[in-house]
A = this chain, B = another copy of it.
Amino acid sequence: MIAIVGGTGPEGSGLALRWARAGEAIVIGSRDAERARAAAQQIVEKAGPLGSVEGADNATAVKMCETVVLTVPFAGQAELLKQLKPAFRQGTVLIDATVPLAAAVGGRPTRVLGVWQGSAAEQAAEIVGKNVQVAAAFHSLSATVLNADGDVDCDVIVCSDDDRARQAAADLAVKIPGVRAIDGGKLENARIVEAMTALLITLNIRHKVHGAGWRVTGLGI
């Protein structure tokens, strides 16, 4: 069972939709359990009969699951993780998709903030502590594309210092039709992948599209 904290937003809902269609059991987390249940119901209607999607407040969602995906705006990431820390089970895999867009402080969504730990994902790892294994992934998938029906023409670059967390993120990535999981090395590399999402926002604006993405070439895979 997979918790998606911030799952009522377009990115989290899009991931939930794709994973439900792949037969996964999903818990949408939100500050407001009612709002989470309403979002879950909408996703169920789009997803069809295969998986399951329910809603809960964030802490309950985290307690229920051994895999937690975090899709929240950067402005709320640290505070939320501090609140949720006691809810994580020992050995939970936290997959962080947070991008520290400067929009968090009134700046442009095409720029990233410098995060003291190096990246939003490393900030997340510092806050949740050693009982939780962190991978960074799913930054670059367009919410517009995820919430539509077609294949997703984008690779997911996974950065982690923990093999189990890296594998959990990769396994979830390839459940999305069209997506490949690419081992992006250590968690510290999340700072690059996060910034690449800000560049995708530039590309979306410059090219008047909503679904710019990245593919890695030349890997012989």
Contact = CB atoms under 8 A, between A and B. Distances in A.
A115 interface: no
Interface stretch (A61-69, A123-131, A189-197): A189-197
B218 A110 contact: no
B212 A214 contact: no
Nearest to A208: B220
22 contacts: A110-B185, A111-B188, A142-B218, A153-B218, A183-B203, A183-B206, A184-B199, A184-B202, A184-B206, A185-B202, A192-B199, A195-B195, A203-B219, A207-B220, A207-B221, A209-B218, A209-B220, A212-B216, A212-B217, A212-B218, A214-B215, A214-B216
Contacts of A9: none
A154 B217 contact: yes
Contact of A189 (B110, B145, B214, B217): B110
Interface string A161-198: 00000000000000000000011110011011101101
Interface of A: 110-111, 142, 145, 153-154, 157, 182-185, 188-189, 191-193, 195-196, 198-199, 202-203, 205-207, 209, 211-221
A80 to B, nearest CB: 26
Contacts of A184: 199, 202-203, 206
Contacts of A212: 216-219
The 7 A-B pairs of least Cβ separation, nearest first, read A211-B218, A185-B202, A153-B217, A215-B215, A213-B217, A192-B199, A192-B195
A182 to B, nearest CB: 7
Contact of A219 (B188, B209, B220): B209
Given A145-B218, A185-B203, 15 more contacts: A110-B189, A111-B188, A154-B217, A184-B203, A189-B202, A191-B195, A192-B198, A207-B219, A207-B220, A209-B219, A209-B220, A212-B217, A212-B219, A213-B216, A215-B217
